[in-house]
Structures are given as C-alpha cells and as structure tokens.
Amino acid sequence: MTTDNINCNTGEELNIPPACLKLRERLKQRSTAFCLLLEVLPMDASAGLELSSFRRAGLFKEYFGTECWMLTTRYQPDGVENALEQIRLGRLDSARLINLYDFIQRVNRGSLKRTPPTIERNPGWTELRVQGTADLLVRDNGGKNLMYVHRDSKSSAISFINFIKNERLTRRDTYDRQGWISRTEFINPENSRTHTAVYYRPDHSVALTETYVYTDNGTPLIDTIHVHNERGDTVQRFTHRDELIAWWLLTLLRDRDTDYVLIADQVMDYQRAFIELKRQQAAYPDVRVIGVSHNCHTLDPDDVMGSRLGDNYLFLVDQRQRVDRVVTLTERQKNDILVRFGAQAHPITVIPHHFVAPDKASDKPSASAHDSSGTLSSDTTFNPAQGDGSEGGNVPPSAVAQGEGPGGGSPLPANNQGDGSEGGNLPPSAIIHVGRFHPAKNQEAALEAFKLIHEQVPEATLHFFGSGDGEQAAKDKAAELGLTDSVIFHGFASDMNPVYASATCLIQTSRHEGFPLVLQEALSFGVPCLAFDCHYGPSALIEDDHNGYLIAPGDINTLASKCTAVLRDSALRQRLSEGAQKSMERFAPAGIAEKWADLLAELLYKESRHE
C-alpha cells in the first residue's frame, strides 16, 4: 500500500482504478491546473450545483492527487468566510480561490491581517443599538439619521455603512473582511439606485469603476467598466460584464508551461470568454473546456424537443464557443440533445455525480472554521506547483436594505430571523420534502398529494426542509388545505443525516431537475423515494418498485396512492429500503473517478481506453 492509495480525509485505503493511477502519473510530468468555474456561496444560499462541484474537487484530490482552483466572479468580500464555512461543515475539503474582484483589487487574503474598521464619530452624535442586532443607527444632535452601521451577524465585523441625508440613502461603503473599505456605491437619493460603484485596493487606490443604467422595470445594467492602474489611469474599458470576465480569465491562462482544464459548472458568465478562447485558440493551445449541464436545458422542461434553449445552455450547441466536451449527468439528457441537435451539439460524455455512503462520510465538526482540518488558500494568480462599539439606546429594526449592489433600497436593514430547527428524530409515518422553495420545486403539488395521504393515514406528517421566497406561499397553502397541524416547516438544516435516518419516505414533485443530490442522499440511507418523472434526474436514480416509485409529472392521485402504500405496508417499505441502499453502489467514487480519468486522458493526452 502506497501513500497514493490513502484517503486524505479518513486515512483509509482507496481502491484506485488503473486509469486513475495512470492519470496521476501523467499529471506529475507537467503542471496542470484544474479550474472549477462556480461561485462559493454561504451555506444557506448554496444548492446542489455547488455541493456537487465541491464533491468533485474532493474526488480529484483523492483519486488524481490534484487540488482544484475555484474561480469566482461575484463581488464577495466574505468569499473566504463562505469557503471556510463549507470546509467546517464537511462539504468542502479544501479550496484554492481566485476571485475576479480580488484579482483586480490585488487582494492577497493569505497575507493581510485583520484591522478592525473605525466609524466617523462626533461628540454631538448619538449611537443607538438596533434591537436584536449588533447594528448601530447614528443620529446627529437634531435627531436626524446620518449613518446605519450594519455588522455581520456571526463575526460582528462591519459589513457596510449606509450614509443618509434627509432620510434618503446617498452612499454605501462596503468593508472587506480585513477591515478596509473595499467598495463605495454612490446612490441616487430620488430612487435609491446605485449609479456608480468604485472598488479600491487595500492601499486605498482606485482599482475599478462601474457605472449603471436601469431598464424600465428597474433592473440594473452595466453602462461602463473601467479598470485602473495605481495612478488612476484607465487601462481597460468594457461595456459588458462578460467582457471583463473574458479579459480576466484569458489573463489567468497565459502561462504556456501549464495545462488548464476549465470545468464550467456555472457557464452563463463565461460564454463570452469561451468565444474568445475559440477565436484565439492558437494562442491558448493548452486550455481544455468542459461544460457541465446541471439541469434541463430548455425553457419549457416539458418540451425538450421544441422549446428554446435557456441562455445558460447555449454552450451545448454554440460552435463559436470553445467547448471541448459537454458533460451531462444522465444518458436521457444526452440522447435528447443528440436527437434534437445532432452534429450541431458539442461532443457529450455522461458522468453522474458520485456519492459516498453515509457510514464513510466524515463527521461534521462543530468547531470553528479555523479549527477545521480543511485548508484554504486565496490568491490573485495561478501557482499550480503551490503546496497545499457604543451602547446608546435601543431602536427597533427597520425596513430591509440591500447589502449587495447595485440596487440601493432602504438605508436601514432589518433583522432577518429563521427558526433554525434541524428536524432530526422524526415521528413514525414522516414524509420529507427537501429543497428550496421555488416554483420549479412545486411544493404545492406535494401539499395537494399529502392532503389525500392524510385522509388515509391520519397520523402521517409532512416535513419541509429548505428555505426560499416561496415558503410563505406554501404555508398559506397548507393552511388552506387544513393541514397546519400535520405539515412542519423546518427551514434550512445544515446536517440532514438525522433527518434521513428517521424519515419514512421522501417525495419530490419538481417540474424539472438535473441529478438530485437529495435523492442520492435519501436513497443511501435506505429511504424509499417517490418522485415525478421530470427531465432529467429522478429516472436515473429511482428504479420503479425497487427503491421507490416514478410518477407521471403532475399525477397527484398516483403519488398519494403509492405513498400511502409505503406508509401502510411495512414489508413493502423494508424491500424498497434495501433496494435503495443497494442502488447507490453504482455511484461509488471509484467508478465515477474512472469515468473522469478516461475523459481527462482523452482531452489532455488524446488517449482513449475505448478505441
């Protein structure tokens, strides 16, 4: 047994397929940077796409001996904290981050020490603590609001300060987590809309300026973007954000001694960059682009043969873009794309998400992110060879303000509260539904089906896990159906393992899916799953009458009937549970790693085991 065959997290011996071992050796011979194009969001805002990408990064590290870079494009002064949170909760083993704004602002997060920011004070001003928060409202000696100081709910560090004149928001200073002003937004007090955003370097010099115009419905659009040198001179000018992203990405890929593999999980922001990579292909011969399709590719998921492609999926067939391979998660989606588009589509390989059985998954520690065993590095350039305040009085919270620009909003933020209930140790006959509250998840159908179930099994309960804008509408629907006492809304749960361990069955009523990690997780715990057979994921995971049931989309009566049978028949439930656990064996890490090894060997070295 060699160290190459050891799981870096658990110390257990790995069964590494020969294709993966061969790729490991090839990667040692030439510098190769694997880059995941996605965003690293806070835990309660991230979805299955982010989690699947994090897991893939862990798979590459374990089986190929390489760490992935994560390229992010959103302005996120708390991006490092988001990554550390994901590491602490066991969703992400380690991370190397390169952020667009950090690159332009020349932020090296590994070397900057934290300096607590100070706020302007005047002897005649009054500082009032906002009830239920660590925020401060600053008023002048005449009682007029001057500033609203918003602090991070976890660290109490200043996040931003709103400046107020005549009860109107005029400016917002956003602070980097290191303590310096990272961005200033200048806001039109008449409509609370940001017209200019200025981004600074740690030395306070101007790095970037963005100006905005607005559509008739108030949507902000980039007017101009200026990148500045230290003297303030404009060195790059753009009129679209995707032009800025393309310039940034191509700048990162200039090292001719490195092979680059770009795995695009969030393709939308990079399509202009992929066009430039195709146009300048001779100048970037060592770049390979893999676009991953995480969901149904058409605007109407019920009409995959006629509906228009979603903007995020134009890369599937746009031959102007550099796309060396498309990865779909299911054979069904691949076949639909090829039947409809034929040779117009880029080459497609099917690689589903892998899954680690629960008894092999690492525990989620409760220690702080800084005590986590995971590692984090953040830089502004690739290095593939790199190793690893005042009390005052109390005032009630006021209306919500947008913490991210552009967008303005009220100058005084509200205190957002959630119940935070985890929901473990569910009662008998507990049905679970897991997912964000969104029209695509179709929680209304789940409630309508449960109404029929509850009539047959009065002790049954339905438990929703997730958050989102549609949660209140679902609560109202439950009340309308007379189910208030039997439907429980738990909100977001950071650890679903206790929930799966005690659930009787899971229902999923989505209008469309990609490859639902929720189903993988539930099935691995032996939870029978019943789902609408939408495009595309459920049919790749559920084997009818073996580990659950596939239901025709919208067929609430059949969903209710099948679910009632599972609740009433313990022998059926046991048979489906045993089938559920066994069905996850085909998604074991070694087999999925082998599929990735085959694809990467083909793209990097023109090798194929199947020729």
Q: 10 Å Cβ neighbour count for 419?
A: 9
Average pLDDT over residues 9-32: 82
Q: What is the DSSP letter of 93?
A: S
Residue 275 confidence (pLDDT) above 60: yes
Cβ atoms 163, 140 nearer than 8 A:
no
289 part of a folded domain: yes
**Cα 536 to Cα 69: distance, rounded to the nearest angstrom:** 29
**Mean pLDDT to the nearest integer, 518-535:** 96
- Least confident segment among 128-137, 339-348, 404-413, 495-504: 404-413
Local confidence band at 394 (pLDDT 50, 70, 90 cut-offs): very low
pLDDT reported for residue 388: 36
> pLDDT value at position 413?
43
pLDDT per residue as tens digits for the range 104-162: 999 887 655 677 777 888 888 999 999 889 899 999 999 999 999 999 887 788 999 99
Provide the pLDDT for residue 396: 38
Chain-centroid distance, C-alpha 319: 27
Cβ-in-10-Å burial (0-12, 13-18, 19+) of 89 comes to middle
pLDDT at residue 49 in the model: 84
Q: Tell me whether residue 403 is in a domain.
A: no
pLDDT, tens digit, 9 for 90 and up, residues 189-230: 999 999 999 999 999 999 999 999 999 999 999 999 999 999
Query: For residue 213, which of 224, 201, 227, 228 has the smallest C-alpha distance?
Result: 224
**Distance between CA atoms of 61 and 73, rounded to whole angstroms?**
23
331 and 376 both lie in a single domain: yes
In degrees to the nearest 10, what's the CA dihedral of 432, 433, 437, 438?
Answer: -170
Percentage of the chain exceeding pLDDT 90: 69
Residue 535 resides in a domain? yes
Residue among 435, 423, 501, 492 nearest 461 (CA): 423
pTM of the model as a whole: 0.85
Reported as a single tens digit per residue, the pLDDT across 34-68 is 998 888 776 556 677 888 898 999 999 999 999 89
What's residue 345's pLDDT?
95
Same domain, 351 and 496: no
| Measured distance CA(528)–CA(506) in Å, rounded | 6
Domain housing 175: 126-201+389-395
Confidence label for 1 from pLDDT (cuts 50, 70 and 90): very low
Residue where a domain stops, chosen among 352, 376, 395: 395
The reported pLDDT for the residue numbered 6 is 46
- Gap between the Cα atoms of 553 and 559, Å rounded: 10
Domain match, 131 and 91 both = no
Q: How much is the pLDDT for 40?
A: 75
> Is residue 391 scored above 50 in pLDDT?
no
Distance CA 43, CA 170 (A): 31
- 226, part of any domain: no
Average pLDDT over residues 496-510: 95
Say if residue 349's pLDDT is above 50: yes
**Neighbouring residues of 29: CB distance < 8 A, sequence distance ≥ 6:** none
Q: Identify whether residues 482 and 561 lie together within a single domain.
A: yes
CA 276 vs CA 116, 282, 316, 391, 526: distances in Å: 42, 11, 16, 55, 47
pLDDT, mean of residues 410-419: 40
Rounded CA-CA distance 129/560 in Å is 51
Q: What is the structure's pLDDT at 213?
A: 96
User: Quick check: 87 pLDDT over 80?
Assistant: no
Q: Quick one: how far is CA 369 from the chain centroid?
A: 19
Task: Give the lowest-confidence range in 10-19, 176-185, 251-260, 403-412.
Answer: 403-412
- Complete DSSP assignment for 301-333: TT-TTTSPBPGGGGGGT-TTS--SEEEES-HHH
**Per-residue CA distances from 110 to 119, 154, 207, 380 (Å):** 25, 21, 20, 11
- How many CB atoms lie under 10 A from the CB of residue 13? 11
Instruction: Note whether 175 and 107 are same-domain residues.
Output: no
> What pLDDT shows up at residue 118?
76
- Using the predicted structure, report yes or no on whether residue 611 has a pLDDT greater than 60: no
pLDDT of 46: 62
CA distance 191 to 146: 18
- Residue 400 pLDDT exceeds 50: no
Q: What is the predicted pLDDT for the residue at 499?
A: 94
408 falls within a domain? no
Q: Is the pLDDT of residue 399 over 80?
A: no
Q: How confident is the model at residue 480 (pLDDT cuts 50, 70, 90)?
A: very high
**Predicted local distance difference test score (pLDDT) of residue 384:** 47
Q: Is residue 469 part of a domain?
A: yes
Please say if the pLDDT value at position 363 is more than 80: no
Q: How far apart are CA 444 and CA 354, in angstroms?
A: 30
Yes or no: say if 274 and 346 are a contact pair by the CB < 8 Å rule: no
Mean pLDDT of the chain: 85
Contacts 24+ apart (CB under 8 A), 357-362: 357/524, 357/584, 358/497, 358/500, 358/524, 358/525, 360/10, 360/12, 361/90, 361/497, 362/9, 362/10, 362/90
Strand order in the sheet with 193-200: 234-238, 220-228, 206-214, 193-200, 181-188, 168-175, 158-165, 145-151, 136-139, 126-130, 394-395
Task: Residue 106: give its domain's CATH number.
Answer: 3.40.50.2000
* Among 370, 395, 420, residue at a domain's last position: 395
SS3 per-residue string spanning 270-306: HHHHHHHHHHCHHHCCCEEEEEEECCCCECCCCCCCC
Is 72 inside a domain boundary?
A: yes
The answer to whether residues 318 and 445 belong to one domain is no
Give 376's pLDDT tier (boundaries 50, 70, 90). low
Same domain for 87 and 34: yes
184, containing H or E segment: strand 181-188
Report the number of distinct structural domains present in the chain.
Answer: 3
What does the buried/exposed string (b/e) look like for 514-533 if buried means 16 or more CB atoms within 10 Å of the residue's CB?
bbbbbbbbbbbbbbbbbbbb
Do 428 and 417 contact (CB within 8 A), yes or no?
no
Q: 293 exposed, middle or buried (CB, 10 Å; 0-12, 13-18, 19+)?
A: buried
> Which residues on adjacent β-strands are paired with residue 164?
169
Task: Identify the burial level of 134 via C-beta atoms within 10 angstroms of its C-beta, where 0-12 means exposed, 13-18 middle and 19 or more buried.
Answer: middle
Residue 112's pLDDT is 52
Check residue 86 and give its pLDDT: 74
Taking only the tens place, the pLDDT of each residue in 310-335 is 999 999 999 999 999 999 999 999 99
Domain termination residue (choose one: 349, 371, 395): 395
Residues 468 and 552 in one domain: yes
Q: Which of 3-12, 141-150, 369-378, 405-414 has the highest mean pLDDT?
A: 141-150
Structure tokens at 7: 């799981």
Run of H or E residues at 592: helix 589-605
Under 8 Å between Cβ of 178 and 82: no
Residue 213 within a domain = no
Distance CA(548)–CA(516), nearest Å, equals: 14
Query: Nearest Cα to 564, choosing from 429, 425, 433?
Result: 429
- pLDDT tens-digit readout, 532-566: 999 999 999 999 999 999 999 999 999 999 999 99
Per-residue pLDDT at 13: 59
Same domain, 98 and 130: no
**What are 277-290's pLDDT values in tens digits?**
999 999 999 999 99
Does 178 lie in the same domain as 59?
A: no
Same domain, yes or no, for 164 and 72? Answer: no
75 and 130 inside one domain: no
